């Protein structure tokens, strides 16, 4: 582990099918105890409902997102947050023209998942499912 400052506009950037993900604190800076990401997403639904094998939390900076977690929807605006335990079915949709939020993840696995996800064709559902499976993410049929 090391001290790692992260300035505005810096960090490894991944363009996922539903958002741009900037790594603000990577697993290698925390001994894989946690990671922090800045998510920029356009209006509309994100990925399909899924279950991760790690806990995570969202903190909204601007815009509004609807987070589906378990059987409930949570409308979150600036300054709102939510924690989602490992094993919970979840996804989100952006309700405003765009939204920016922070995602905090336990373990060092989410960054590896995002890195791998950017290598796949977003229309190749079989490849996306294979990547998800390799990283402990289970896609849930809606």
Q: Is residue 24 part of a domain?
A: yes
Q: Is residue 107 part of a domain?
A: yes
Q: Is residue 113 part of a domain?
A: yes
pLDDT of residue 142: 60
Structure tokens of 56? 């995570």
Q: Is residue 8 part of a domain?
A: no
pTM of the model: 0.90
CATH of the domain at 37: 2.60.120.10
Cβ–Cβ under 8 Å, residues 38 and 100: yes
Beta strands 19-25; 81-84: pairing state:
unpaired
Q: Is residue 17 part of a domain?
A: yes
Q: How many domains does the chain have?
A: 1
Q: For residues 59-84, b (16+ Cβ closer than 10 Å) or e, as one string?
A: bbeebbbebbbeeeebebeeeeebeb
Q: What is the pLDDT along the chain (142 residues), one digit of tens a residue?
A: 778 888 888 899 988 778 999 999 999 999 999 999 999 999 998 888 999 999 999 999 999 999 999 999 999 999 999 999 999 999 999 999 999 999 999 888 999 888 888 888 877 888 888 888 899 899 897 6
pLDDT of residue 57: 97
Q: Is residue 1 part of a domain?
A: no
pLDDT of residue 82: 98
pLDDT of residue 132: 87
- What's the rounded Cα separation, in Å, for the pair 41 and 128? 19
pLDDT of residue 5: 85
- What's the rounded Cα separation, in Å, for the pair 84 and 57? 6
Q: For residues 30-41, b (16+ Cβ closer than 10 Å) or e, as one string?
A: bebebbbbbbbb
Q: Is residue 103 part of a domain?
A: yes
- What's the rounded Cα separation, in Å, for the pair 124 and 141? 16
pLDDT of residue 16: 79
The DSSP line for 116-141 is: HHTTS-TT-HHHHHHHHHHTTEEE--
Q: Is residue 37 part of a domain?
A: yes
Domain that holds residue 20: 13-137
């Amino acid at each position: 582990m090391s001290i790692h400052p992260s300035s505005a506009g810096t960090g490894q950037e991944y363009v996922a099918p539903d958002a741009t993900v900037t790594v603000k604190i990577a697993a290698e800076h925390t001994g894989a105890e946690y990671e922090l990401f800045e998510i920029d997403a356009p209006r509309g639904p994100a990925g399909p409902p899924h279950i991760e094998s790690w806990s995570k939390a969202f903190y909204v900076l601007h815009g509004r997102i609807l987070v589906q977690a378990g059987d409930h929807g949570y409308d979150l605006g600036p300054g709102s947050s939510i924690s989602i335990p490992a094993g919970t079915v979840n996804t989100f949709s952006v309700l405003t023209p765009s939204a920016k939020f922070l995602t905090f993840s336990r373990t060092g696995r989410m960054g590896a998942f995002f890195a791998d996800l950017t290598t796949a064709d977003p229309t190749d559902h079989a490849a996306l499912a294979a990547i998800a499976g390799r990283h402990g993410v289970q896609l849930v049929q809606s």
